[in-house]
């Protein structure tokens, strides 16, 4: 009897072989913070595939950084790579960013009378992200996935917030930070110097005070002159001097217009501008290394991914840098002092060309955390922005997959809490 021929083994596809849209079902949902903000999360729920997906259904919350939005994660193929492994991806947009916009809060207030947040006019700071946005988002992901614990992945400021959150909360199963310093400004003299420039904001306040006075006087004087001329019967001249429109709004320095600044950068990087940037990057790397990311992706992120950032956030960052702190000033909670309480699996990933998050500025969390699984790794040739959108995101997503797998395989096992003095 002839033996049946063995079927050749079918190789597993790579992420490039799979259509992105076949990997997920997309939806959005809202969460409410304790201080009355409505935040929007975008969910990419994985669709089971015929190939192995080692972390199928494991929920991962992605949190963007300073002046960014969900496009931090969607401008490249970061989400696709996580979905390829089966992750259940939830992208938070912090208050005032992306879909969690100021406009959304006002629309809801006009539609159903919901209470407007007290800090609606860009009056929040980093403490609000930490005390209100993160707990609401984590609880929201736990609720929709029916999981007691979830995984957290933050880029830049999002990862810094994760350091503080993981030290005090017990509803995370693993923490990944990408380009997130634990000692912001360490080893970066220029950033230290810039942090001492915050008094310039008071100069802007003074200039706006004078400008507001001139605008108000001009408007009021025009109205008065028009009224006098009207009473004298000189209607033709009265109409000419009467100011059009309502009384001008008072101008205030409430936020830094990072959205406009990043769109300006995008225009400057068109055509020859990008080629000049590539030449400059051979000598000094700024926020992105153009050899590790496409021009189309970086320009799209600059155009679509920028958001206004409140003055309070900038001032708090500057204070952290000047004093070498990582503190929630409203409560006095010290992130660094609580690093030893972080015992969940941790991956600290940064670019070896990144001046914001370097070996020096991430060493504190590596030394402080007491995790049994603790990865501290630079990505060669990378700076800051391309870590979530550039050519090496597949490597980074493998690190995330490995951390999640380890945590899943060791659920319920008490870690040995090794001491790390390196």
pLDDT given for residue 2 in this prediction: 47
Q: For residue 176, name the pLDDT band (cuts at 50, 70, 90).
A: very high
Q: For residue 237, name the pLDDT band (cuts at 50, 70, 90).
A: low
Going from the C-alpha of 133 to that of each of 33, 177, 254, 287, 346, the distances in angstroms are 6, 18, 20, 26, 21
Check pLDDT > 70 for residue 9.
Answer: no
Question: Mean of the pLDDT values across residues 143-150?
Answer: 97
Rounded Cα distance between 176 and 62, Å, is 9
Higher pLDDT, 198 or 177: 177
349: three-class secondary structure by DSSP = strand
In tens, the pLDDT along 374-410 reads 999 999 999 999 999 999 999 999 999 999 999 999 9
Rounded Cα distance between 125 and 317, Å, is 9
Residue ranges of domains in the chain, CATH in brackets: 15-186+324-409 (3.40.50.1820), 200-241 (no CATH)
pLDDT given for residue 275 in this prediction: 86
Q: For residue 66, name the pLDDT band (cuts at 50, 70, 90).
A: very high
In tens, the pLDDT along 23-49 reads 999 999 999 999 999 999 999 999 999
pLDDT given for residue 277 in this prediction: 82
* Residue whose tokens read 């809202």: 30
Q: What angle do CA 367, 376, 359 make, to 5 degrees?
A: 75
Question: Mean of the pLDDT values across residues 187-208?
Answer: 73
Higher pLDDT, 195 or 227: 195
In tens, the pLDDT along 69-110 reads 999 999 999 999 999 999 999 999 999 999 999 999 999 999
State both tokens at 95: 């208050």
- Which residue blocks in 129-257 are alpha helix, DSSP H? 134-145, 157-168, 189-195, 200-231, 235-241
* Residue whose tokens read 């000047």: 322
Question: Mean of the pLDDT values across residues 322-333?
Answer: 96
Per cent of the chain over pLDDT 90 is: 70
Higher pLDDT, 207 or 292: 292
Name which of 59, 56, 58 is nearest 86 in CA terms: 56
State both tokens at 133: 């946005």
Question: Mean of the pLDDT values across residues 283-310?
Answer: 88
pLDDT given for residue 279 in this prediction: 83
Rounded Cα distance between 271 and 236, Å, is 52
Q: For residue 417, name the pLDDT band (cuts at 50, 70, 90).
A: low
Q: For residue 226, name the pLDDT band (cuts at 50, 70, 90).
A: low
Rounded Cα distance between 163 and 365, Å, is 8
Which of 7-11, 185-189, 233-237 is least confident?
Answer: 7-11
pLDDT given for residue 411 in this prediction: 85
CA 344, 350, 355, 359 torsion-angle sign: positive
H helix or E strand, kind and range, residue 31: strand 24-32
Question: Mean of the pLDDT values across residues 53-79?
Answer: 96
Name the average pLDDT for the chain. 89
């Amino acid at each position: 009897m002839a033996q049946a021929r063995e079927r050749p083994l079918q190789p597993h596809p790579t992420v490039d072989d799979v259509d992105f849209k076949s990997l997920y079902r997309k939806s959005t949902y809202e969460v409410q913070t304790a201080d009355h903000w409505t935040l929007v999360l975008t969910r990419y729920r994985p669709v089971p595939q015929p190939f192995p997906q080692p972390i199928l259904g494991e929920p991962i919350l992605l949190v963007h950084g300073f002046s960014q939005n969900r496009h931090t994660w969607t401008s490249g193929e970061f989400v696709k790579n996580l979905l390829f492994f089966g992750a259940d991806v939830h992208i938070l947009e912090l208050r005032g960013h992306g879909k969690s916009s100021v406009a959304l809060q006002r629309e809801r207030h006009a539609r159903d009378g919901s209470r407007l947040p007290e800090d609606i006019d860009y009056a929040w700071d980093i403490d609000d992200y930490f005390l209100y946005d993160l707990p609401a988002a984590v609880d929201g992901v736990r609720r929709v996935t029916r999981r007691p614990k979830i995984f957290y992945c933050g880029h830049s400021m999002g990862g810094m917030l994760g350091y503080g959150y993981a030290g005090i909360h017990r509803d995370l199963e693993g923490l990944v930070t990408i380009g997130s310093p634990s000692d912001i400004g360490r080893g970066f003299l220029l950033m230290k110097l810039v942090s001492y420039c915050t008094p310039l904001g008071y100069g802007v306040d003074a200039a706006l005070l004078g400008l507001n006075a001139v605008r108000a006087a001009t408007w009021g004087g025009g109205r008065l002159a028009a009224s006098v001329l009207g009473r004298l019967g000189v209607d033709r001249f009265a109409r000419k001097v009467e100011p059009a429109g309502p009384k001008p709004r008072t101008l205030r320095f409430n936020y830094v217009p990072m959205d406009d600044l990043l769109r300006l950068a995008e225009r400057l990087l068109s055509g020859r501008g990008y080629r000049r940037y590539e030449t400059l990057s051979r000598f000094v790397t700024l926020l992105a290394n153009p050899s590790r990311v496409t021009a189309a992706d970086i320009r799209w992120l600059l155009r679509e991914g920028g958001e206004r950032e409140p003055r309070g956030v900038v001032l708090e960052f500057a204070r952290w840098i000047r004093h070498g702190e990582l503190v929630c000033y409203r409560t006095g909670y010290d992130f660094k002092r609580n690093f030893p309480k972080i015992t969940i699996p941790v991956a600290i990933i940064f670019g070896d060309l990144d001046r914001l998050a370097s070996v020096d500025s991430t060493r504190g969390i590596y030394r402080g955390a007491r995790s049994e699984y603790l990865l501290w790794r630079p990505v060669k040739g990378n700076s800051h922005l391309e870590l979530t959108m550039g050519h090496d995101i597949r490597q980074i997503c493998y690190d995330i997959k490995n951390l999640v797998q380890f945590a899943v395989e060791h659920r319920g096992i008490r870690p040995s809490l090794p001491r790390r003095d390196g």
